[in-house]
Each structure stands twice: as C-alpha cells, then as structure tokens.
Structure 1
C-alpha cells in the first residue's frame, strides 16, 4: 500500500469535512468530486494492500459524507440553526476528522517497510534453500529427530526481473507480533513490504565471498534484509539461517510451521545458561550451513556474522571452524569463543538500559576483541536500529534509535563493507597466537 496515498486520503477527508461549512450552492460541486476521489482511493488501497488502517479511514469517509448530508439538508430546509441538527453534524464531523487522523498517524507509526535501495553496482537475487542438516534437533524430545535448516540467500545478479515482497504471507509477521506481545493486525503492513531482490535470479559470474548470518533471539532470517541486499549489491553472497524452535516461525517446504519455543524462566542465571546453549546450537547451524553451501558454491572467503545472540553464535562458529576468515557481530554479547580471525563488533551507542548489563557487555567485548578486533559504536543507536524492524516499528528513539529509520542500517552497512574490504583484501586474516 502506498502509505503516502493513505495520508493523502486522510488529509482529503479532513478538508472535505471542513468543506461542509461552505455555502450550500457550491458545496456539493466541491464535495461530490472530493468524496468520489476518496472512495476511489480507498478501493485502490483495499484491492492492493488491505490493512486494518483502512477501517478508520473508511469510517472517517462515511461520517464525513454524513456530515455533508446533514448540513446540506438542514441548510436547504433553512434549519441550519437547529441545535440538534448542528450537534449531530458537528459530532459526525469531529469523529470523521478523528478517524482520518488515526489512519494517518497509524501509517506513519507502522508503515509498510520499503527496503533502502542497495548502493552497489550489482542487481540482487534471492533464493530460499532447505535441507536436513544431520544435526540432532535439540528443540524436541525425540533423540532421533534431525534438524532441518532453512536459509535465504542474497547474491549479486544480472539486471532484470521483478522484486519480491518482503514477507508475502502473514505467518512470520503474526509470529513476530505475538513474540513482541502485540496484536497481530498491527504488523499487517510487513507482508506488503518491498525489497530490491529478484526471486531465484541467476547469480552473476565471478567468485563471491560468502557471509553466513544468524539473526537475533527469536529473530528470523529476513530480519536484516536491507543489510544483506546491500552486501549482495557489492558482490557478496549472504546466507541467513532460520533456527528451528528459536526463530519466531520457520516455514518448511511442505507447509509445516515450526514456532519458537523460547520462554524466559525468571531466573537470570538459568536464562543466561539457556542463551549460552542456544548460541552453541546456532554456531553448529552456521557450520552446517557452510558445509551445505560449499557443495554448491565455490567461494574464496567466508565470514560468520550475526545480530545479538546471532553475533555470539558467529564468534563461536569461527572459533570452532577455521574455514571462517572473519567475524561480524552486530550488537551481540559474546558468549564464549576466541577466534583467530579479525572481528568487527558493531555496538548500539544507546546501551542496554542497564549499567550492570552495559558493564558486562563491555568487558566481554574487550576480551574477545583483544586479539585483533575492531569496535564501532553507533551514536544514539538501539538494539533494533540495525535491523529491518526500524523500518516498520514506531519511530521512537528508545525503540529504533536516533537519526531516523535508516540510520542504524546505514551505519551497519558502511562499517561492514569497510571492514570486509580491509580484511578480505589483505589475504592475511589470521590473528595472533
């Protein structure tokens, strides 16, 4: 849905309600054309991207039209001074303006996410892969269960083709809303989001470094699509992995939906232990993804990356497997591991909100970066600033950080490309004893 169209329709409704105060002779000429335009606009939006925001907008339009009818009939009958009629028209008009304002504010606060245009020279393709990893499935009680992994790839591609929707069905957006404790309808715009990636496009010729990405706790493979698309436009292959029973929802090829089983216990020590185990399991997933992808993709260099606990998993994966040439941890508390490769730690300058947690984070980062790490702090950024969530959640500084919706994404993109250019260009990516 064009958010701009919804805002324009909302403003038009307000103008038309005010227009009911114009002289009767000119009123219907003005209002007739205006309400017809609003009706057509609402029909267009409803046919293309039906969202809950249409409900207050349609209500506002109906009440606005009713306001005009009441005033016009009263004026025609020369009863414009009737207190009852005037009160009814005023109430309808105020409610119409309120509904229009609600629609405009809602589409501003919870917009349809449109990913920023990539800055590289390549077009971007995307594909989804699924395979049996052969790993035991820790999310079930059956020791015979094998872990099925799903990954989405973004890669450099030739020009041509239509970009895919961000999340074309409601399963994952609804799961993300449930996880955040929000009504599902509030995030209904996410499934209409627009990307810059062409589904199943051919891959551009050449050798392309591979970046394996693990999302945040409960996060999904698409959560850093803007970052991934930009890297792909600069010649990288990015493979983001869904982690079954951890990611909010994982949809398999056969339609099976694996939902997150994550729960807090209320015991901080136990929750930290569970998080440590999840980071280890995610690291195994990244290594399994590398095993799978290297059977099909000849890539000269490999990078482990992740956001939040995914960053911790990337550090562990690079410690356990020397095929990784570098690590990028995006605002992730390290949970063990000391890889002998360069590490970039991107940190939200807004902090965690806890002095104790900030101190623990700083100490853990200092230790893991001591060998050959780089820390880059994004001023005013929050934990979600670096993810696509900044594009569709309310633009509150405490939620998505300072500087606007794309500031954190731009910071992560710039720092990542600079780090990879310096690290992968030298060919000497092993650090210290």
Structure 2
C-alpha cells in the first residue's frame, strides 16, 4: 500500500510539474485544489479501512493535512501569485515535494500494512503485560546495583474455563518478545497460555511497567558480531560466550516460570489461574531456541521444546584435543521439534556449532526435524511480514518461500506438536521438508 501510494503521488507531482512547464504558469489554484482533493481522498480511504490507521500513516496524514490547510487558506484569499514563473522553481518544488512524500511514507514503506496470519482456534485471545523484578539477581549490564527486571507479555484464551498448558517463548539474539506474535495468538486461540519474554539488554528494545527503557547492550552486540566473524575469537572463547549468554537467558526463563507458577497459586490475577502447572513447554527462535533446549536440561517440569533455527548449545562440548565443538552424546528425553530455514539447514553438515543438531536424532527418544525449503532465518518470525525490507537486509536477501505460507505452516506445526506433547492429542507427524 505504501509503495502504491508513493508511486501515485510521484506520478501526480510530475504531471503537475509538466503541466506548469507546458503552460508556463505556476498554476497555484490548481495545485491547491489538488492538495485539498488528495487529503480528502486520504481521509476517505482511512474511513473505509482501505488504509488501516496506525503509526505507519501518521507522518503522511500530517503532511497532507498541512498542505490541504495551506491550500484552503490560499484559495480563500484568492490572491494572484506574485512569483514570476521559472522552470527551475517548478522543478525544485517538485523535487522537494517528492522528497517530503518519501520521508512521510518511510514508516509505511519499512513497516508495510499487511494481513495477519490466519488464526484457527475457537477462543478469543486476550493479552497482558507485566514486569517481574528478580530480587536474587543484580543487573550485570549496568553498574547501579539494581535488581534485574524481566518484561513479559501473555496471550491467553479470553472468557475461558478450566486450565491450559503454559508455553514460554524466548526471542533471538537481539529480537523482541513480539517477534512471533502470530504463533502466540494461534496457540492461545486453541487453549494455551503463552508467555513471551524480553531479555533486557539482549532484546533490541524493551520498556518496563515503570517506564524504564533498555536497549540492546553494545558490548553484547559486538560479541555476537565477532563470534560470527572468523578469526576474532578462538573456538574456546566462543564456547565461553555460549555459556555466558545461555546463563543469562536460562536464568531469566527459570525466574519467569517460577514466578508464573507461584502466581498461579494465588487469587490476585485470574489470568494466572488459567495455567496448568503440570503442562509446560518452552520454545524460541535462534538464541532463544538454544536457551529453550538448554532449559529443558535444567528443569524436570518442561514437557515439550520447540527449537526454531538455532544451534543446540546445551548438547555441545569443547574438545581440547581437536580444539573444536563436538556433540556431547548424552541422551535427550524431552519431546523436541527442530524447525530449520535454509540459513541453518546448509550449515548442519559443515559447521561444528551445529554438530549436536544432527546428532540429536540419535540421542533423543522423541525428536522431530522440519526444514522449510526456500526460507531464510527471519522467515520463521513475524518480522518478515511486519518489516520485510528490514528482514531482507538483516538476513542477506529475500527468501524464496511464500512468507504467509511459511508462517502459517510453522504455526500449525508448533500447535500440533504442543497438542501432542502437552495435551496428549494424537501423534505428531511432519513432512520433513516444506
């Protein structure tokens, strides 16, 4: 929609400029009538929900309103234009207007208006957000001695009776808790309580209940970049980073789950009473997937894990003789679903960081592997829908798979797997490659 509007606007501005050049007049009244007409058309499109009003359209709406207001004022004054006609002035104003339109439409171009993936469950979905403060931990990223806070958001069945499985999500390296909102909504519509975590200073941006803001820590982002750059760290140093990152992530997840379970025993918030403490699953994308698998090694109450496009750090050891990673070979007993894009799939055989991902099928009693052919790393998140330009930049190009088909199929697989592993519904089967 944003690109279409920009195209039409540019054509209109060029047409006005050509008309002025041909007639050798500034045609101020015509321009003013056009500005008013364009603003009226914009308002009508918003009222008809062709343009769904959101942050995407605020700058464009403000620009069109200002231009229309100036146009109306000029038409009422009905004064002759004192400026002498000049080609250069017409061309300059046209270029300036096109630039202003591009700036005003930037949010709509970067975050285009899009349809939400299909929600198939019977339950209406409600959300709630909280900030949990861990009094047993001091924030390591800032030297103020404050306790670490963790922001969470819930998606849960509204107007529901009974209790439902709890599934907890951890975002990617510098993602956000909303990264897979379509998945959370689909699960909640089928009778799950979904909690997604913002890991402060690992998350790109998070805001707590009291307004405290935390951006991704620059040193942490530098570690991520250098760990993916050959020759900066030794393999043993990278292994040490894995341990550090996973400790913070799993400490956050342990704290959140423990807090939720404690709240589910109280009467303070009816949402918590929807949770069945005997049915807990965890899942995550990228580093969050690594943390989810790691956490299932630490907790006996986790009954299902979904790893989305991540190396299995918990299943790796560092071999001092060959100075490389190898699979630990330990038995893995928690039901596990691994979902991969091409970005990771091509590395499973030739990158030692993924040595345990291949071995897990041999060491696990109930593991499944799915590959989305043509997908890239961020195809498995909602960023590919919400901000496709940014997703393509971050993942090094556009994915070949249909983004809606990818997300909706992924959501269905995760739902079916959790139904099997947490609710005991049927058996889980998957095509393997999609």
TM-score (norm 1): 0.70
Mapping 1:220-231, distance limit 5 Å: 220-231=176-187
Q: Map 1:5-404; keep pairs closer than 5 Å.
A: 7-8=4-5, 11-12=8-9, 14-15=11-12, 17-18=14-15, 21=19, 33-40=33-40, 49=55, 54=60, 85-93=86-94, 96=97, 100=101, 107-111=108-112, 115-137=116-138, 139-140=140-141, 146-158=147-159, 204-261=160-217, 262-265=220-223, 266=226, 267-269=232-234, 270-295=237-262, 296=264, 297=273, 298-299=275-276, 300-337=278-315, 339-351=332-344, 359-370=351-362, 371=364, 372-390=366-384, 391-394=386-389, 396=392, 398-399=396-397, 401-404=399-402
CA distance in 1: counterparts of 2:417 and 2:111, whole angstroms: 33
Shift, 1:236, TM fit: 1.1
Q: How many residues align?
A: 367
Indicate the residue corresponding to 1:179 in structure 2.
Answer: none
The answer to whether the 8 Å contact 2:130/2:209 transfers is no
Deviation at 1:225, TM superposition (A): 1.3
Q: Structure 1: which 5+ runs fail to align? A: 77-81, 159-203
3-state SS, counterpart of residue 406 of structure 1: helix
Q: Deviations over 1:38-89 (max 9, x none)?
A: 24467889x9647686399769979xx9xxx9xxx99x9xxxxx9x834543
Distance 1:219 1:286 in 2: 16
Deviation at 1:263, TM superposition (A): 3.7
Deviation at 1:425, TM superposition (A): 4.3
Which moves more between the two structures, 227-236 or 419-428? 419-428
Contact map agreement 1:10 1:104 (CA 8 A) in 2: no
Q: Secondary structure at the residue paired with 1:350?
A: helix
User: Is the Cα–Cα contact under 8 Å of residues 16 and 34 in structure 1 kept in the other structure?
Assistant: no
Q: Using a 3 Å threshold, how does the CA distance of structure 1 residues 132 and 18 change in structure 2: closer, same or farther? A: closer
Q: 1:19, CA displacement in angstroms?
A: 5.0
Quick check: 2:131–2:208 contact (8 Å CA) kept in 1?
Answer: yes
Aligned match of 1:411 in 399, 409, 412?
Answer: 409
* Long gaps (5+) in structure 2: 227-231, 265-272, 316-330, 428-434
Structure 1 residue 216: Cα displacement: 0.9
Give the C-alpha shift of residue 109 in structure 1. 4.1
- Assess if the C-alpha contact under 8 Å between 1:16 and 1:31 holds in 2: no
Deviations 1:108-136 (A, max 9, x none): 34325664352222111111122333442
Q: Is the 2:57–2:107 contact (alpha carbons within 8 Å) kept by the matching residues of 1? A: no
Shift of 1:240: 0.9
Quick one: distance in 1 between partners of 2:65 and 2:141?
48
Taking the aligned partners of 1:128 and 1:393, their CA distance within structure 2 comes to 26
Give the Cα–Cα distance (whole angstroms) in 2 for the partners of residues 291 and 234 of structure 1: 24
Contact 2:342-2:372 at 8 Å conserved across structures: yes
Q: TM-score, normalised by structure 2?
A: 0.69
Name the CA distance, whole Å, in 1 between partners of 2:351 and 2:86.
65
CA–CA distance in structure 2, aligned partners of residues 59 and 90 of structure 1: 23
The alpha carbon displacement at 1:355 in A equals 5.3
Per-residue CA deviation, residues 123-157 of structure 1 (Å, 9 max, x unaligned), is 11111122333442362587975433221110111
Residue 254 of structure 1: how far off its partner (Å): 2.1
Aligned partners of 1:385 and 1:405 also within 8 Å = yes
Deviation of the 1:293 alpha carbon: 1.4
Distance in structure 1 (CA, Å) of the matches to 2:54 and 2:221: 37
Is this contact kept in 2: 1:60–1:96, CA < 8 A?
no
Displacement after TM superposition at 1:386 (Å): 1.6
